[in-house]
Amino acid sequence: MRVINKKSISTPLALPIIVSALLFSTAACSNQTGLSTNSDAKEMKNSSHKSPVSTEKPAFTTKTVATFDEPWAMTALPTMNNKAPKLLVTQKTGELFIVDTATGTKTTVMGVPDVAYGGQGGLGDIIIAPDFATSNNVYISYAEAGTGNDSNKFGAKVIKAKLSGMNTSTPSLQNITPVWQQIPKIASQAHYSHRLLFSPDGQYLYISSGERQEKDPAQDMSMNLGKIIRLNADGSVPKDNPFVNNSNKIASQFWTMGNRNVLGMRFDESGRLWVSEMGPKGGDEFNLIEKGKNYGWPIVSNGSNYSGTPIPDHDTRPEFEAPKITWSPVISPSSMSLYTAGTHNDFPAWQGDFLVGGLSSKALIVVDVDDDNTASERYRYDMGERIRSVLTVDGQVWVLEDESDSKLLQLLPK
């Protein structure tokens, strides 16, 4: 490590419109080894059925905008006068860029805190504050190394900072303020999750906190690992959080528990919160997140342990919330975005659908959700490369590949 600055696919009936594009490569957090006959039975048991959808699968070409080394996340800056958007893009190694999508120009943002780069750790997510138009504040997550007794231990941290000089050649982060951190720090450098999202009204900050590949913390009320966190924008705890009166103060942060490694998190058009979550050996999940619920990890899963030993399925423990979709072989979901038309409407067939990036699957997966809280995989596109991040901006779609020499792509409708 160096510190530097800078179980079965539950898609409905495998519709012919879905391209089966699972390519066998090493997943970041999920193992895509096939499951046993018992797991195949789980596939049928957990399939989500919905009314038929259009069989017309939108086609697209890709345009390369820029390249990066180990990019992790991106978000869009506000645009005016129908100009091409500028994106903020993070690299795990500790760099933050402003990218002009019209020219591909990358401008380095100075002042990024030191990050613990190694394993799955480094610079993580970035989102703009709801009041960005007046404050220029952004929220950033990253892996932080411990000190003293926590030497050689790591945890995610979330900060707020002012993005200064963003229209100059020397933008920088100023007025950095801590917002939240994982407790405790763990020797592992895996499953940070640290995805960030504001509620549609801009009042609440949601943070996905991975269980750090340690399993048990997801059910431990004294640790904020393996949870989805809900805070006010300043990091304080909302009074209506489900465990706010728990005798252990840290539990007041929790919105849900029993989560493994949530890397995608978005609200739909109805205000429901959905996440994509890495499973173990099989059993990647698409979950509807609801206040105070327990999603069962590591007690239940629709996958198996990496050793091959079984884990009880969700339906054996109905007190735990079951996923709306499970995937095996896994897709290794990395991020997701909601497609809505704006000034542009490049893909009208995707309106209201989620776009989910796949790492080991090297795919872009389109997921449809219904009013009855069911969900299903609608389309799958073979992208030929691991997909780290997906972002929709004003009816256009941008995709970041994973690892070194990764391309930022714009999807263009055919």
State the catalytic residues. Answer: 191
CA atoms within 13 A on the CB side of 66: 21
Other C-beta atoms closer than 10 Å to the C-beta of 103 total 10
The Cα 172–Cα 109 span in angstroms is 5
Measuring CA to CA, how many Å separate 191 from each of 267, 281, 307, 359, 370?
A: 22, 15, 18, 15, 30
What residues contact 81, with CB distance under 8 A and at least 6 apart?
none
What is the secondary structure of 107-154 as a DSSP string?
EEPB-PPPEEEBTTBSEEEEEE-TTHHHH-EEEEEEEEE--GGGTT-E
**Token code pair at residue 393:** 């901006």
The Cα 76–Cα 84 span in angstroms is 10
The Cα 21–Cα 44 span in angstroms is 20
Cis ω for the linkage preceding 12 (within 30 of 0): no
CA angle (45, 372, 286) in 5-degree steps: 55
R_g (Cα) of the chain, nearest Å: 20
The Cα 365–Cα 331 span in angstroms is 9
Q: Residue 135 burial by CB count (10 A; 0-12/13-18/19+): exposed, middle or buried?
A: middle
What residues contact 206, with CB distance under 8 A and at least 6 apart?
196, 197, 198, 199, 228, 229, 230, 255, 265, 273
Strand 284-289 vs strand 273-277: parallel, antiparallel, or unpaired? Answer: antiparallel
The Cα 383–Cα 16 span in angstroms is 18
